[in-house]
Amino acid sequence: MAKAMKIAIVDDEKDMRQSISQWLALSGYDTESFASAEEALATVGPDYPGIVISDIKMPGMDGIQFLKKLMGVDSTLPVVMITGHGDVPMAVEAMRIGAFDFLEKPFNPDRMSELAKKATNARRLTLDNRQLRKELSDGTQIMQKLIGSSPAMERLREDILDLGQADGHVLIDGETGTGKTLVAHALHAVGSRAGKKFVLLPCAAMDEPTLMKRLFGPMEEGDVVLPAMEEARGGTLVLEDIEALSDQAQARLLSVINEQGNPPETRIVAICNLQDEGKTCETALRSDLFYRLAALRITVPPLRQRGEDILTLFTRLSEQYAEEYGCDAPEVSAQEAAQLLQAPWPGNVRQLINLAERATLQSRRGSGTIASLLMNDHEEMKPVMTTEGKPLKEYVEAFERMLIDNTMRRHKGSISAVMEELCLPRRTLNEKMAKYSLQRSDYL
């Protein structure tokens, strides 16, 4: 159940504050009262979890001045102004500045409750979207699975934030195992459709008749699942492996897209997962459909282009598996770290996930090395690999960062324990943590 939204009631008349507060409290709202605008401004900040109801005529800072201040703090904050009888010019001015609505004295309590409901619903949606955007840029919750500090991942997160707020259809492409479906989830989660339906349809997993029926209908009597286009109405429809659609299905999909108009009632996120060399999304799809979908496009980077992220991901994954299997996470040597960084990773993140699990199980048995698992995955790999143009210093720094990060996690941020295990003086450890942007607070 959603937490009750707050309502800040600002009025210099005590009786008015009390009557409004009592009425709204009966409607389930958490109210707080303020005798002046100055007093309210000390509490109502940019992420205030609710709305404001304020009188216009007050001593000191009046309602119009107060509204201007609030709009400067948070322009999306719903503010309902209470005006005296006949104060139409003031009400118009308040709406021009950004007031959500106004109530004219003497007002109907039911009208006030109706406005409070509309305003708090709008505020909840704004705060939810803001939190989702914050989670995305901070790398928490859903974006924990898209972690990484490489330039490629920074760009991907920026693209998700930007395109998530747009309303057009999106084409996501990239190599197998890079996390394209997760990107589709993130696009939906940070956009205006976040609270609406999210429907995922794996096109390559169905034969042609079944796919056409599931995508467009009509459904037969007794079917409990709506056609995907209908089920996702108002929300997001994700078409995985869109290249598996036949020419007939592509033509039908294009027709539906054209009928929707702009902005589309249902947003389509198409995932193209071509594995044949030399074939592209552009050649796999009808050109008219391709250009309708690819107006907004995200290409998910392959793992081999993400540098140090490989070690970060391996560490997090192996720790998760170690907790699941009740054992210690595998230790990574400098040579193994270099090999992880240099592996070709044709299966990308999906392959790394499998490797981390096998390495953890192998470590629990007390036999084998990460290098041996890598050799099995990539028989052509030599014991030590280098990449043209990449200096040894980068490998050393990547390994050093991983080692400090692992040790800090194991000791839950205890600086003294990390100093002892790594034989580092405090000053050196502090300098290295600053160099690699490692914060002790992240490990507590």
Residues 271-291: tens digit of each pLDDT? 998 755 667 888 889 999 999
Q: Is residue 434 part of a domain?
A: yes
- Domain C-terminal end among 85, 104, 135: 135
The reported pLDDT for the residue numbered 381 is 42
Residues 117, 72 share a domain: yes
Among 86, 3, 77, which Cα is nearest to 40's? 77
Query: Measured between alpha carbons, how far is 276 from 241 in angstroms, rounded to an integer?
Result: 13
**Averaged confidence pLDDT in the chain:** 84
Higher pLDDT, 393 or 316: 316
Q: Is residue 150 part of a domain?
A: yes
Residues 376, 229 share a domain: no
The answer, yes or no, to whether residue 337 has pLDDT greater than 70, is yes
Residues 220, 81 share a domain: no
Residues 424, 356 share a domain: no
The reported pLDDT for the residue numbered 395 is 64
CB crowding 174-208: b at 16 or more within 10 Å, else e: bbebbbbbbbbbbbbbbbebbeebbbbbebeeeee
Q: Give pLDDT tens digits for 12-48.
A: 999 999 999 999 988 888 999 999 999 999 999 888 9
What are the start-end ranges of the H helices in 378-425? 392-410, 415-422
Q: How many other C-beta atoms lie within 10 A of the C-beta of residue 255?
A: 11
Q: Is residue 385 part of a domain?
A: no
For the chain, the C-alpha Rg in angstroms (whole number) is 28
Residue identified by tokens 């044709």 is 346
Among 336, 326, 320, which Cα is nearest to 369's? 336
Contact assessment for residue 286 and residue 258, using Cβ atoms and an 8 Å cutoff: no
What CA–CA distances, in Å, run from 58 to 3, 11, 71, 81, 315?
31, 7, 18, 12, 59
Which CATH number fits the domain that encloses residue 318? 1.10.8.60
> What average pLDDT does the segment 216-228 reach?
68
The reported pLDDT for the residue numbered 135 is 60
Residues 309, 297 share a domain: no
pLDDT tier, 390 (very low <50, low <70, confident <90, very high otherwise): low
Residues 143, 131 share a domain: no
Run of H or E including 236:
strand 236-240
The reported pLDDT for the residue numbered 246 is 92
Query: Measured between alpha carbons, how far is 78 from 50 in angstroms, rounded to an integer?
Result: 8
**What single-letter DSSP state applies at residue 261?**
-
Q: Give pLDDT tens digits for 99-147.
A: 899 888 888 888 899 999 999 988 988 887 777 666 655 444 665 667 8
Please give the share of the chain, as a percent, with pLDDT higher than 70: 89
Residue identified by tokens 């709009």 is 71
Task: Mention every residue, 6+ apart, whose C-beta is less than 8 A from residue 203.
Answer: 211, 239, 240, 241, 242, 244, 245
Half-sphere exposure of 292 (CA within 13 A, CB side): 22
- Domain C-terminal end among 253, 282, 301: 301
Query: Measured between alpha carbons, how far is 371 from 150 in angstroms, rounded to an integer?
Result: 24
Read off the tokens for 181.
Answer: 């479906």
Q: What are 55's strand-pairing partners? A: 82
Task: Mention every residue, 6+ apart, whose C-beta is less than 8 A from residue 383.
Answer: 335, 339, 371
pLDDT tier, 360 (very low <50, low <70, confident <90, very high otherwise): very high
Residue identified by tokens 């096109």 is 203
3-state secondary structure 310-335: HHHHHHHHHHHHHHHHCCCCCCCCHH
**In this structure, what is the dihedral angle of CA atoms 100, 105, 111, 115, given to the nearest 10 degrees?**
20
Which CATH number fits the domain that encloses residue 221? 3.40.50.300
- Domain C-terminal end among 77, 105, 135: 135
Q: Is residue 387 part of a domain?
A: no
The reported pLDDT for the residue numbered 436 is 83
Read off the tokens for 245.
Answer: 């659609």
> What average pLDDT does the segment 228-239 reach?
91
The dihedral of CA 297, 299, 300, 301: what is its sign? negative
Q: Is residue 433 part of a domain?
A: yes
Residues 274, 232 share a domain: yes
Residues 262, 180 share a domain: yes
- The domain tally of the chain equals 4
The reported pLDDT for the residue numbered 143 is 56
pLDDT tier, 236 (very low <50, low <70, confident <90, very high otherwise): very high
Segments forming the whole domain that contains residue 357: 304-380
The answer, yes or no, to whether residue 388 has pLDDT greater than 90, is no
Higher pLDDT, 263 or 368: 263
Query: Measured between alpha carbons, how far is 196 from 233 in angstroms, rounded to an integer?
Result: 9
The reported pLDDT for the residue numbered 78 is 93
Contact assessment for residue 240 and residue 271, using Cβ atoms and an 8 Å cutoff: yes
Q: Is residue 1 part of a domain?
A: no
The reported pLDDT for the residue numbered 378 is 57
Residues 148, 288 share a domain: yes
Q: Is residue 429 part of a domain?
A: yes
Contact assessment for residue 398 and residue 341, using Cβ atoms and an 8 Å cutoff: yes
Peptide bond into 263 cis (omega under 30): yes
Q: Is residue 162 part of a domain?
A: yes
Residues 260, 204 share a domain: yes
Number of H helices, E strands in the chain: 19, 10
The reported pLDDT for the residue numbered 59 is 92
Q: Give pLDDT tens digits for 43-60.
A: 998 889 999 999 998 999
Q: How many other C-beta atoms lie within 10 A of the C-beta of residue 128?
A: 14
Residues 131, 237 share a domain: no
Task: Mention every residue, 6+ apart, whose C-beta is less than 8 A from residue 280.
Answer: 274
Contact assessment for residue 152 and residue 179, using Cβ atoms and an 8 Å cutoff: no
pLDDT tier, 400 (very low <50, low <70, confident <90, very high otherwise): confident
Q: How many other C-beta atoms lie within 10 A of the C-beta of residue 334?
A: 14
Residues 52, 184 share a domain: no
What are the start-end ranges of the H helices in 74-190? 88-97, 109-138, 151-165, 180-189
